[in-house]
A and B are shown apart, each in its own frame.
Chain A
Amino acid sequence: MIPRFVLHAQHRSGWQKAAIRVGAVLLGFLISAVLIMATGKDPVVVFGTMFSGAFGSKWGFSETLVRTTPLLLCSLGIALASRMQLWNIGAEGQFYMGGLGAAFVALKFSTMPAPVLLPTMAIAGFVLGGLWCLLPGIARAYLGTSETITTLLLNYVALNWVAYLVYGPWKDPKGHNFPLSPTFSESATLPVLTGRVHIGLILALIMAGVFWWVLQNSRWGYEIRVIGESPAAAGYAGMNITRNILLVMFVSGAMAGLGGMMEVSGVLHRLQKDISPGYGYTAIIITYLAQRNPLAMILVAFLFGGLQAGAYSIQTKGVPLATAYMIQGMILFCVLGAELFTQSRLRFVWRKEVA
């Protein structure tokens, strides 16, 4: 007699799937709690501090919103590409290139009035982020190169471009040798809503809505649906798959690039070496958890924004910032594992060994 686990295919309703995923997130927190305990801290206190740090005060809440904006934009870009079974994991690099493009415009044309300068910065960020993703898109469309690898590798190139510029040509002469560009002019700064929250949040929310509506109702959105599901059927229907790969990759990167523009223009007011604490990577988790649903993406981006904002507040308790990334990783780990159970169930059986 040997015991074994057997997987059975099982149909689950939408609610059951949602419950399984929420349960996985909770399990992620539970495992994190064990790990926090192992470091000698009380997880209840740590989580409590995180929660109140993220949502418990006006300042904390506004910090959460500040982080929601770049997370949501990167996530929208990743979701668009994934609809066509393209895996853009280079949102981080595209975010940096967007910031770089916007900073170039802001520093070069600092005297232009805001109504001209801000849209120009936005276009620069949009285009540069887009091109950064179009590059792997071209290799994918014409040579079949795996975009998963190339988008990831280009992240490091983008980070180093920004580092080069802020250590070199663009370094602020009055910056005491820190890797920072000069502060942007007033007209290169996005209007503020409250605290550090800038108008980019509203724009990101609008984009999520537009994104959803366009994909649902446009001819282009229809093509993306069909190509993503069945390239053979798309070719049979006369759709241009190559052109759509290029277009989708460009727009995917452009979204992240726009996020980078908003970050430098709305939050940092300068280009610096680290403009993102890994927004582009966290956005991958958000996209997956939200199952590409834009409404869910807004909510999940908000919660992950809170997780990161809360992580800053726990440093006062002697818990390192990296705890937040550990929790993120645990959640993703559990959610990925739980996907198995959205389509099957596990049964433990005692079975006679087959001769």
Chain B
Amino acid sequence: MLVEMQGITKGFPGVLANDHVDFGLAAGEVHALLGENGAGKSTLMSILTGLYRPDSGRVAILGRTADFRAPRDAIRAGIGMVHQHFKLVAPFTVAENVILGLDEPRFVLNLKQVEERIRRVSQEYGLKVDPSAPVWQLSVGEQQRVEIVKLLYRGAKVLILDEPTAVLTPQEAEELFKTLRLMAARGHGIIIITHKLHEVMAVSDRCTVLRGGKLVGTVKTSESKPEDLTWMMVGRTVIQEREKAPTTPGDVRLDIADAAVQGDRGVLAVRGATLQVRGGEILGIAGVAGNGQRELCEAVAGLRPMTSGSAKVSGNCSFIPEDRLGMGLVPNLGVTDNAILRVYSGRQVTKAGFLNWKAVREFTGTLLKDFDVKTATVDTPVKLLSGGNQQKLLVGRELATDPQVIIASQPTRGLDVAATEAVHNVLLDARRRGKAILMVSEDLDELLTICDRIAVMFEGRIMGVVKAESARVAQIGLMMAGKAEAEVTPA
């Protein structure tokens, strides 16, 4: 075995990122590492590349126990990684980037010689790069090839690629897969970190699935179906039953018609989604992360333009963004300043352009009490609050304006059991009061527990909408892997 990792355990304050994980990589194979956000993929690879040291467990390279104290040690042992965000110096040429950080040459730099060697490597592996081109002139796909050449030049035996296709066009991705196969054929071991199933199916020999820091299993790709892998990835976590009183859905309050939304990279992230949410109803959106859920929510909330289609909201709309500290809250400002973020310009707390501190304090006090937010003082920066209290503050603030429509994007991600329950109860309470709620989650069980209906999103499209009470997990799993509802529902 090229790489053997046994019983790897690594904890961070509050979470066990890896819990007795075993992982093996043979020479000549492409091995996919699959899992949701926070499943522990990055931590495991950071241990292999020497960035972290495991609390316990053993790493062996070619049968010899390795104790990496720094990334430099891992590089010497022949392990290289292509990060999602490339580590290249834009004004430098390809050759200059390739030798960056190497001990060779000791003093005299013979770039011609380096370029010649790069040409040889790139020919051998079919990686088209011009060694003398400055990196800023290269396309993203070419830059990725430079990163790979950089590793091969250093004699890496193990190549780890983190979400390698995230920035590539389908054609570039196709090209990359060919290179990966070729490198494997030449005896290298390749690990790709991903959560895109079709890539796993297309390129890998074996697939290891992590969930919640634990190993779910390692399977041969040729013997697995995409839905099996989805199932392993999403899995069943134990969520207690919530009190979900039956309600009669009211009028349509949120009407999304054929919405198309652009993602951050300029490609369409949502490609024609149609959904209706009624008052007194929670509509869940299931799907593997990155299939357009975030963009859809942001577009409905008015933070992202729609390229076509429409979203009609009756009444006011609240948005609980998934990026809690990046968008929903201002980490360095106090609880009070954060509490009034949505109402600061309204008559409730402002008079003639000035804040009415008495009203502000009252508003904040009520919010903290109603939603059970615990904080040392009302001026404590919210970054010092626990994740649960941050989220309760955010959810509470969004509900304090009595919205008719609530969009909640991953409202319980990273929360402990108690905080999760608190957030669920708030949402269920809003449902009881006739609000229309659109909720995105990567946790299927959470959706099945608190939603009335579940829509499944795949590559920007709605694959179908099912009733939560009669939905079968296998059926949703197939839809998450890209099968339309009609194909998976027995007639």
A residues contacting B by CB (< 8 A) are 217-220, 222-223, 225-226, 229-230, 232-233, 235-237, 354-355
Contact = CB atoms under 8 A, between A and B. Distances in A.
Contacts of A230: 326-327, 330-332
Interface string B63-74: 000000110010
Interface of B: 69-70, 73, 303, 319, 321, 323, 326-333, 337, 340-342, 344-345, 350, 353-355, 357
A223 B344 CA distance: 9
Contacts of B329: 233
B330 A233 contact: yes
Nearest to A237: B341
A354 B72 CA distance: 10
B355 A218 contact: yes
Given A235-B303, A237-B341, A354-B70, A229 B353 contact: no
A237 B301 CA distance: 11
A267 B350 CA distance: 42
Contacts of A219: 344-345, 350, 353-355
A217 B328 contact: no
Contacts of B345: 219
Nearest to B298: A236
B319 A354 contact: no
A13 to B, nearest CB: 15
Contacts of B337: 222, 225-226
Given A219-B345, A236-B303, 18 more contacts: A217-B357, A220-B353, A222-B337, A223-B344, A225-B330, A225-B337, A226-B341, A230-B327, A230-B331, A232-B327, A233-B329, A233-B341, A235-B303, A236-B321, A236-B327, A237-B341, A354-B73, A355-B69
Given A218-B353, A219-B355, A237-B341, A229 B327 contact: no
Contacts of A233: 326-330, 341
A229 B330 contact: yes
Q: Which of A217, A220, A222, A354 has the most CB of B within 10 A?
A: A222
A353 to B, nearest CB: 11
Given A222-B344, A225-B337, A217 B330 contact: no
Contacts of A237: 341-342, 344
Contacts of A236: 303, 319, 321, 327-328
B303 A226 contact: no
A229 B332 CA distance: 7
Nearest to B319: A236
Contact of B333 (A217, A220, A226): A226
Contact of A217 (B73, B326, B354): B354
Nearest to A230: B330
6 contacts: A217-B354, A218-B353, A225-B330, A230-B326, A233-B326, A236-B328
Contacts of B342: 237
A229 B331 contact: yes
A217 to B, nearest CB: 5
Contacts of A217: 354-355, 357
A60 B205 CA distance: 84
Contacts of B326: 230, 232-233
Nearest to B333: A229
B465 to A, nearest CB: 28
A218 B341 contact: no
A32 B344 CA distance: 49
A268 to B, nearest CB: 37
Closest 6 CB pairs of A and B: A230-B330, A232-B327, A229-B330, A237-B341, A233-B330, A354-B69
A232 B70 CA distance: 35
Given A219-B354, A236-B321, A225 B333 contact: yes
A45 to B, nearest CB: 47
Contacts of B354: 217-219
Contacts of B330: 225-226, 229-230, 233
Contacts of B73: 354-355
Q: Which of A235, A237, A354 has the most CB of B within 10 A?
A: A237
Contacts of A223: 344
A253 B313 CA distance: 43
A230 B303 CA distance: 15
A236 B322 CA distance: 12
Nearest to B326: A232
A14 to B, nearest CB: 14
A232 B304 CA distance: 12
A225 B355 CA distance: 13
A233 B344 CA distance: 13
A354 B70 CA distance: 9
Contacts of A235: 303
Given A235-B303, A236-B303, A222 B355 contact: yes
Contacts of B319: 236
Contacts of B350: 219
A73 B319 CA distance: 42
Contacts of B331: 229-230
A42 to B, nearest CB: 47
A197 to B, nearest CB: 33
Q: Which of B303, B319, B330 has the most CB of A within 10 A?
A: B330
A226 B334 CA distance: 11
A225 B328 CA distance: 15
B369 to A, nearest CB: 23
A85 to B, nearest CB: 12
Contacts of A218: 353-355
B240 to A, nearest CB: 32
Contacts of B323: 232
Contacts of A220: 353
